[in-house]
Structure 1
Amino acid sequence: MTEDKQSAGPSASATEPLVPDVHKKIKAAFTAFDYESNNKVDVREIGTIIYSLGCFPTQADLHDIIAEVEEDHTGFIPVDKFLPVMTKVLLEHKFPPIPEDLLLQAFEVLDKENKGYLELEELTKYMTQEGELFTQEEKDEMLTALADHEKNLVYYKDLISQLTVDPDI
């Protein structure tokens, strides 16, 4: 019987070895935000968890994921609801990260004078008034992490690698 399992297995097991690794990766990201160690996270942390896993859904897609996994609109997401949904997202390579060259091009479009940086006020305007808007929390988090606060500038060329995810990790 052992031989039968092995001979029937290769076509069926093409994705099976990935699943335990994907589950481990998702659980590790989830656990980092499970502050009460009760296998639940605040719904407001789901976007950060998903981004940390190398997926970058739109706000609409993020809301759809939350609607699918939030239990009884309690404001908390249990790991057992999140795990299967996020596993499917990762295995299907949904919401891939933006390649570095496209991100650089986007910054260069905003940097009309080709200075290599954006002023904080200018970047804040783009983040809060154009395209897919950042929440106050997202804006504050990004600017705190990325800005040179002494000069009130964001040197985007130096930050591209921080803003993208290596798909091979």
Structure 2
Amino acid sequence: MNVHDFIATDIDGKERKLRDYAGKLMLIVNTASACGFTPQYEGLQALQEAYADDLVVLGFPCNQFGAQEPGSEEEIKTFCDLNYKVRFPLFAKIDVKGENAHPLFQYLTHDKPGILGTEAIKWNFTKFLIARDGEPVARYAPQTEPKAIIPDIEKVL
């Protein structure tokens, strides 16, 4: 099993197979529109543009941390477009921790635990770099700026 085996609903309500991104690196991020880390959308979009042929950023909005993603999917989509010109795929709001966590995030947090081996995601904008073959490569803390991931992207390419 790897990331390619999962399905998620996109922000427009359509089911998407993550296998559709096979052959590209993926940067999977749990996002929020009213977080101190929200400006990272700009850096994530910059990565998407800089590595358009080799990488796809996948944004998964989540309202589990400080209720910082209270809006509907349409409101999230509009916010991301108007404020950050986000063009990478966004998905429907999900849980990333707890018993209702999306199976993708259950898998990612188990495969790439955080500090001291903890699996739980602690806050918005936790990032997971996924290799072309669907295997998780690395996990990054919310405070890790997208540009700081470039050396790892370059290594995996």
Q: Place the TM-score, normalised by the shorter chain, in its bin.
A: under 0.3
Q: Which has the larger radius of gyration?
A: 1
- Return the TM-score normalized by structure 2: 0.25
Q: Which structure's relative contact order is higher, taking Cα pairs within 8 Å and 6+ residues apart?
A: 2
Structure whose residues are more often strand by fraction: 2
Structure whose residues are more often helix by fraction: 1
